Amino acid sequence: MTQDPHPQPEPQPARDPDDHGDQRQGADGRGTPVGRRVVLGMLAAGAAGIAAAPLLQRAYDSTLGAAAQKDPTGLSGLLPAGGGFRYYSVTGSVPRKDERTYRLTVDGLVSRPATYRLADLRRLPQTRLVHDVQCVTGWRVPGTPFEGVRLGALLAAAGVHPQAGAVRFTCFDGSYTESLTLDQARRDDVLVALRMQDKPLGHDHGGPVRLYVAPMYFYKSAKWLSKITVTDRVEPGFWEERGYDVDAWVGRSNGRDDAPTT
Amino acid sequence: MTSTPGSAARTDATMPRRPDGGAVGTPAGRIARFTPAERWVHRTTATLMSVCVLTAGCLYLPFLAELVGRRALMVTVHEWAGILLPVPLLLGLASRALRADLTRLNRYGPHDRRWLRAALRRHKGRRPAGKFNAGQKLYAAWIAGAVLVMLATGLLMWFPHLAPLLWRTGATFVHDWLALAVVVVVSGHVWKAYGEPEARRGMRTGAVDARWAEREHPLWEAPE
C-alpha cells in the first residue's frame, strides 16, 4: 500500500504501535465532512435548477418533449411533462355513458329547460377549434382540435333569464363541478365538445361530452359533462374551492405565465 | 490508530474501541448496530417516503391515475406525507446514538475514497469500511439534500402565492425531475438492502453477526 498523496484537512492522531498501515487510517467518525458538503451541494443545485428552469424547460420542449409527442411506445409518458394529455379524475371510478345512456340537462334560470341526447347534440351546428391545451400543472399539448356545439347556442335556445349572471357545470363522475360567468360562457371559443383530435371523445378524455373553454386552463374544461345550470352568480367549482382561480385565463391566473392559448 | 479485536489493551480513554459482541442484551456472536430509536426513525421515514412515492405515482402516471383517481385526496396525502418526511429524523436527534451515526455518515476518511474508487472500478476484492461504507454515506447525504429540495419546491407549489411567479414554475420543474431521480436512487437503496440480508437484519433487529461486521465493516469502532 502506498501513502495517500492527498493532504488531510484535519490532523491525524498519532499512529499506534500495532497500526496495520494506512488501510486503517481515518477512524470512523473522523475525517473530511463530505456528507455536509453533499447536502449543501444538493441545496445549491436545487436553487440553481429553479433559476435555470425556464431555459432548461425550453431546451427540453424543443428536443425530447417534441419527440415525446410522437412517441409510439408511450414510455415518455413516464417522464415529467413528457407525453401529451394526462388523465386526471377527482373520483375513484367514473361511470361510462354512451349513445343510449348519456343525457345533458340545461336548467336553472332559463325559460325552456331541456335535455339533450348525444344524437340531439350532433344535429346542432358544430364548431371546430384548434388551439393549444394548457394544464395548470404545466403540461401543454399543441394544436389540439375540439369540435362541438357552442355553449352560447345552447344557452340561447334555453332562454336565459335577465337576472342570471353565471353558469354552473355538473359532471356525471359525481364530484366535479365548474363555473363560468355568463359573459365567459357566451364566448365563441367555449364549446360543449363531442369530438377531440377529430375523433369522438373517448371516456378517458371526458367523453362522450365535455366542456371546452379554449382561453382558460384546462381544469375549466370539465370532463364528463352532464348538467348546465344557469345561476345568478358564480359558484366556485371543485378545484376553485381548493385554491385555484375562478377566472382561469391561461397566462394571467394561478400565478403562471404560460403563453395564452387563444 | 484503531485496534483489532485481539488488541484490547488500550489505555488511552479517548481512543475508540471496536465492539466485541458483548453489548448488554445482544446475543453472543452478534453486535449492536442500531438502537430502537434509530430503527424507529428509519421505519417511519421509509413509510413516509413510500407514501410520497406512491401518491406521486397516482398523480403522475397515467395508468395509476386512471386506476385510482381521487385526485384531491392523493394531493392532500402527498402534501402531508411530504411535510412530515423530515420530522422523524429531527425527533431522532434527541438520541445520542443517532447523532453519533450522523457524524459517522458525515465524515470521510481515506478508506472511503479507496472504497469509492474500488466500487467505481467494480473491484471485487476487500473494500474496508467503517460502520457505514462510502456508498451508504453518499446515499444518506444525497437523499437528505434531495428531501430538503423536494420540501422547499413542494411548499412553493402548495402555496402558489408564497413566492414570485417565476420561482413557482421553476419549483415545479425541479420537483418533477428530482422526483424521478429520488425514485431511481431510493430503488437503488432498496435493491442494495435486498441483496444484503444481514444489513436488513441489522435494521430490523438492531444487531448484526460479528463476523459479518468484521468482513463488511472492519473499521467500525464503537465509542467507549
Question: What residue spans define the domains of chain A?
Answer: 34-78, 104-242
Helix axes B134-158, B110-120, angle to 10 degrees: 80
Strand A166-171 and strand A177-181: pairing? antiparallel
Whether pLDDT at B3 is above 60: no
In terms of CATH, what superfamily is A104-242?
Oxidoreductase, molybdopterin-binding domain (3.90.420.10)
The shortest C-alpha distance from A127 to chain B (Å) reads 29
Give the residue, B21 or B79, on which the prediction is more confident.
B79
Lookup: cell for A257: 405565465
pLDDT in tens, B89-126: 999 999 999 999 999 999 999 999 999 999 888 877 77
Asked if residue B50 is part of any domain, the answer here is: yes
How do residues A114-124 score in pLDDT, each as one tens digit? 999 999 999 99
Residues contacting residue A151 through CB under 8 Å, at least 6 positions apart: A167, A185, A186, A190, A191, A192, A211, A228
Q: Does A26 touch chain B (CB under 8 A)?
A: yes
Range(s) of the domain holding residue B143: 30-120+135-216
- Which of these, A196, A192, A82, A94, lies nearest to A138 by C-alpha position? A82
Alpha carbon dihedral B153, B159, B164, B169, in 10-degree steps, equals 50
* 8 Å CB contact of A6 and B130: no
CB A219 within 8 A of CB A136: yes
Average pLDDT, chain B: 85
The C-alpha atoms of residue B136 and residue B183 are separated, in whole angstroms, by 16
Q: Look up residue B156 and give its three cell numbers.
A: 412553493
What's the whole-number mean pLDDT along residues B172-180? 89
Nearest-CA neighbor of A256 among B163, B61, B78, B155? Answer: B163
Domain for residue B144, yes or no? Answer: yes
The whole-chain average pLDDT of chain A stands at: 83
Give the chain A residue nearest B103 (alpha carbons).
A29
DSSP string, B61-88: -HHHHHHH--HHHHHHHHHHHHHHTTHH
Exposure string over A196-209, b if 16+ CB within 10 A, otherwise e: bbeeebeeebbbbb
B chain contacts of residue A22, beta-carbon cutoff 8 Å? 110
Q: Return the bridge partners of A147, or none.
A: A128, A195
At B2 the pLDDT is 42
| Bridging pattern class, strands A127-134 and A140-150 | antiparallel
Distances (CA, A) of B203 to A27, B34, B38, B64: 23, 7, 9, 31
| Proportion of chain B above pLDDT 90, given as a percent | 58
Residue B12 placed within a domain: no
The alpha carbon of residue B24 is apart from the nearest alpha carbon of chain A, in Å, by 22
The answer, for B68 touching chain A at a CB cutoff of 8 Å, is yes
Q: Residue B75 burial (CB < 10 Å; 0-12/13-18/19+)?
A: middle
| Interval A47-67 mean pLDDT | 77
| The pLDDT of residue A95 | 84
Structure confidence at residue A94 (pLDDT): 80
Number of structural domains, chain B? Answer: 1
User: Could you give the 3-state DSSP secondary structure of residue B186?
Assistant: helix
Which pairing describes strands A225-231 and A166-171: parallel, antiparallel, or unpaired?
Answer: antiparallel
Task: List the beta strands (DSSP E) in A46-196.
Answer: 104-108, 114-116, 127-134, 140-150, 166-171, 177-181, 190-196
How far is residue A5's CA from residue B177's CA, in Å, rounded to a whole number? 38
Gap between the Cα atoms of A255 and A7, Å rounded: 51
For residue B209, the one-letter residue type is D
Cell matching residue B21: 459482541
The answer to whether residues A240 and A217 touch, using CB atoms and an 8 Å cutoff, is no
Burial of B132 (C-beta count, 10 Å sphere; 0-12/13-18/19+): buried
| Percent of chain A whose pLDDT exceeds 90 | 54
User: Is A159 near chain B, with CB under 8 Å?
Assistant: no
Cell 430503527 maps to which residue?
Answer: B39
Cα nearest neighbour of B64 on chain A = A87
The answer to whether residue A42 neighbours chain B at the CB level (below 8 Å) is yes
Of residues B88, B187, B72, the one with CA closest to residue B139 = B187
Question: What is the CATH classification number for the domain harbouring B186?
Answer: 1.20.950.20
pLDDT tens digits for range A230-262:
999 999 988 888 778 899 999 988 878 888 998
Chain B residue numbers with beta carbons less than 8 Å from the beta carbon of A55 are none
- Answer whether B127 touches A (CB < 8 Å): no
Q: Which of A22, A50, A203, A217 to mutate to test the interface with B (most CBs of B within 10 A)?
A: A50
B195 interfacial to chain A (CB closer than 8 Å): no
Tell me the mean pLDDT in the region A170-193.
93
**Residue the block writes with cell 384546462:** A218
pLDDT tens digits, residue range A37-55?
A: 999 999 999 999 988 887 8
CA B29 to chain centre: 26
Statement: residue A99 has pLDDT above 50:
yes
Cβ atoms within 10 Å, residue A22: 16
Q: Which triple of cell numbers denotes residue B197?
A: 440480508
* Chain B environment of A56 (Cβ under 8 Å): 173
Residue B65 is predicted with a pLDDT of 79
B149 → closest Cβ in A18, A46, A54: A46
pLDDT, tens digit, 9 for 90 and up, residues A8-40: 444 444 444 334 444 444 478 888 999 999 999
Interchain pair A28, B168: CB under 8 A: no
Q: Which of B2, B104, B138 sits opposite A38 (nearest CB)?
A: B138
Copy the grid coordinates of residue A209: 361530452
Task: Please list the alpha-helical segments (H only) found in chain A.
Answer: 34-60, 66-68, 118-123, 151-158, 182-185
| Beta-carbon separation of A42 and B149 below 8 A | yes
User: What pTM, to 2 d.p., does this model score?
Assistant: 0.68
Identify which of B2, B70, B177 has the shortest CB distance to residue A80.
Answer: B177
- Greater confidence (B29 vs B52) lies with B52
